[in-house]
Amino acid sequence: MRSATRLGDLGTEQAYVVLGAARELERAGHAVVHLEIGEPDMPTPPHVVEAGVRALRDGRTRYALAAGVPELRDAIASALAARGVRASAENVVVTPGAKPALFLAALALIEPGDEVLCPDPGFPIYESVVRFAGGRPVYYPLDEARGFAPDVAAIAERATPRTRSLILNLPHNPTGGVAAARDLEALADLAQRHDWWVISDEVYGRIRFDGRPDSIAALPGMAERTFIVDGFSKTYAMTGWRLGYGVMPAWLAEPVTTLLINNVSCTATFVQYAGLAALTGPQDAVTGMVAGLRAKRDLLVRGLNAIEGIRCAVPAGAFYCFPDIAGVLERAGLSCEAFAARLLVERHVAVLAGTAFGPGGAGHLRLCYATEVPQLERALAGLRAFVRGVAAVPA
């Protein structure tokens, strides 16, 4: 007996592998600092929890309309106006998390043999969904010297007649990079000239430190060729609720809904009412979280840059630092994978090797700073001690 070969096209998220190893250390009695998994440390806002509980008590436990509860779809469309995106409920399909929306986008837009431009480093599921749909990922680099913003020239030179789509992730995981307005405009022009789809992953769209929410879909001529992927996990600390959505041209929403019906039928009804409360209720929890993340970012960046051999750019959004540790690795004779593994075992600090996000992540680590300040201080102390130890041993 054997499985279908298409399963071999699927990668995984190293964050879950490292989380599993960290949990094993905790079961053995060790206190681990978790900087590996990307989720906010704040609880889901109480009014959102109450809306979900109330929906359960009110009997909202039956099937929803496949594309989503109409009130939630309306609220999503209205919320996108803050990014300059004009949409209505007919453009929105609600999904059980943002990853299903990524799969829907890939299966709806990519033909076998199509080339898809993907960021490197980048979220590893992009490569998975592209390959699963029969496409071929073509990586475009993100340069630290540019604050990890997409380089329009580098993207353009990787385009071929087989290029079908461009994947953008802004703010970016794992680097926290964003795009300047002029770069977004140049990318929109490139997409229109070459007749590309843009899959725009905006799950960190509200977590920016410049106060400038945007979307390539808001630019002239882009709404009809952009598939926005977004969700509630990061902004509203609803990672376990599994609630996301796709925003697309209205004509595409119907076949995408059919694809959703064939897969999951619909998204849990009571969860959608919790999402409705998140969008339409008070936003002070989000504002407070972003302010807190800025302070934690600054603490971690200062601490990392104070360690000899480590260099860390200041991320503009999301909640990750992506320090360059090449200087330490060279002295110690380690790969970034070995560095991260030993840091966990020896100092009980869980981080991700940059190569978990593609070859462009070599020589880097990803650290999630969405945690308590004492945990960040413990992580920095452990990292400093580990670096001193490995630097003292000849390669």
Instruction: Give the pLDDT confidence score for residue 163 in this predicted structure.
Output: 98
CA distance 303 to 279: 35
Q: Is the pLDDT of residue 8 over 90?
A: no
Over residues 123-127, mean pLDDT: 96
Q: Is the pLDDT of residue 212 over 70?
A: yes
pLDDT in tens, 58-82: 999 999 999 999 999 999 999 999 9
Rg of the chain on CA atoms, in Å:
21
pLDDT in tens, 142-196: 988 888 999 999 999 999 999 999 999 999 999 999 999 999 999 999 999 999 9
CATH code matching the domain that covers 5-43+284-390, chosen among 3.40.50.1370, 3.30.750.200, 3.90.1150.10, 3.40.50.720:
3.90.1150.10
Q: Is the pLDDT of residue 392 over 80?
A: no
Instruction: Give the pLDDT confidence score for residue 73 in this predicted structure.
Output: 98
Instruction: Tell me if residue 92 falls in helix, strand or coil.
Output: strand
Q: Where are the domains of the chain?
A: 5-43+284-390, 46-280
Over residues 49-55, mean pLDDT: 98
Residue with structure tokens 């920016």? 208
Lowest mean pLDDT among 104-108, 209-213, 224-228: 209-213
What is the fold, at CATH topology level, of the domain defined by 46-280? Aspartate Aminotransferase; domain 2 (3.40.640)
Residue with structure tokens 């703010």? 171
DSSP string spanning 285-353?
HHHHHHHHHHHHHHHHHHHHHTSTT-B----SBTTEE--B-HHHHHHHT--HHHHHHHHHHHH-EE-EE
- Average confidence score pLDDT of the chain: 96
Q: How confident is the model at residue 394 (pLDDT cuts 50, 70, 90)?
A: low
CA distance 50 to 70: 20
Instruction: Give the pLDDT confidence score for residue 145 in this predicted structure.
Output: 87
pLDDT in tens, 273-322: 999 999 999 999 999 999 999 999 999 999 999 999 999 999 999 999 99
Give bridge partners of residue 118 from the DSSP assignment. Answer: 139
pTM of the full predicted structure? 0.95
Instruction: Give the pLDDT confidence score for residue 11 in this predicted structure.
Output: 85
Q: Is the pLDDT of residue 391 over 80?
A: no
